[in-house]
């Protein structure tokens, strides 16, 4: 796919295939930009991977970095753990898919008796009622935001012939992957001899994470990592992936 892409765009590039956990197959002048997006979280030893990638950078080079965020992908990892308990062999894709389909079918049909309308009416706040109305309107208009952050929906997947089969296998059967919170990212970046030049997504303010003006100096005096952690916690349960630009420490 990479060869087809560069050929169709008239790009000159040398392609190499290998592992982050071995000395990388490049000699001579280091790179101004190293890009590792959506890959380090699949390594058995992320710190070693980051360290070896850092060795390929010029002293003033940039490291473009992306890994899973815990809050964004929490639901997927919960489902994956359920499948691990029922079928520990992650290479048994078909059996895991059957278990997944059964779970989705049960969730769709509902596993508990629904309470009557009067009970809901007396136990629902006005704000929750507004949220439920917005959600219903979103379903009706087809604009409802998926729970899934990317890839196939959490609903029914037909099987190996489905167009979503390969993304599903990657998400629910991958033998090695992890997700991160801010403190995990801090540990990973600093132990790799890097530092954050720009935080681009998770940990940055959104419409859900407006900082109260009353916090004043108490917030302003915090270090960047603490601020990013507050933003991450305020995003719950939505969350995001971590996208950042790193430089050598």
> Given this structure, which CATH class describes domain 2-71+179-248?
alpha beta
Q: Domain map of the chain by residue range?
A: 2-71+179-248, 74-173
Which residues, including other chains, have CB under 8 Å from residue 38's CB and lie 6 or more apart? 66, 67
pTM: 0.76
Per the CB < 8 A criterion, the answer to whether 154 and 148 are in contact is: yes
pLDDT at 65 over 60: yes
Among 32-41, 63-72, 120-129, 159-168, the least confident range = 120-129
What pLDDT score was predicted for residue 120? 63
What pLDDT score was predicted for residue 150? 47
Distances (CA, A) of 158 to 45, 88, 90, 104: 35, 22, 19, 12
142 vs 32, residue with greater confidence: 32
pLDDT at 217 over 80: yes
């Amino acid at each position: 796919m990479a060869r087809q892409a560069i050929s169709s765009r008239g790009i000159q590039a040398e392609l190499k295939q290998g592992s982050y956990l071995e000395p990388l197959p490049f000699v001579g002048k280091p790179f101004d930009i190293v890009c590792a997006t959506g890959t380090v979280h699949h390594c058995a030893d992320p710190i070693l991977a980051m360290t070896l990638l850092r060795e390929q950078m010029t002293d003033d080079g940039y490291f473009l970095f992306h890994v899973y965020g815990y809050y964004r992908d929490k639901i997927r990892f919960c489902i994956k753990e359920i499948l691990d308990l029922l079928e520990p062999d992650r290479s048994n894709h078909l059996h895991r898919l059957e278990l997944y389909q059964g779970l989705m079918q049960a969730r769709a049909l509902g596993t508990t008796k629904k309470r009557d309308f009067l009970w809901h009416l007396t136990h629902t706040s006005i704000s929750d009622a507004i949220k439920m109305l917005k959600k219903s309107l979103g379903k009706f208009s087809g604009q409802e935001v998926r729970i899934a952050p990317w890839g196939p929906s959490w609903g029914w997947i037909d099987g190996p012939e489905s167009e979503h089969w390969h993304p599903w296998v990657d998400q629910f059967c991958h033998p090695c992957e992890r997700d991160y919170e801010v403190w995990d990212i801090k540990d990973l970046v600093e132990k790799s001899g890097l530092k954050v030049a720009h935080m681009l997504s998770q940990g940055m303010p959104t419409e859900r994470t407006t900082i109260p003006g009353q916090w004043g100096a108490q917030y302003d005096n915090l270090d960047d990592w603490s601020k990013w952690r507050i933003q991450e916690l305020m995003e719950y349960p939505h969350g995001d992936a971590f996208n950042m630009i790193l430089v050598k420490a």
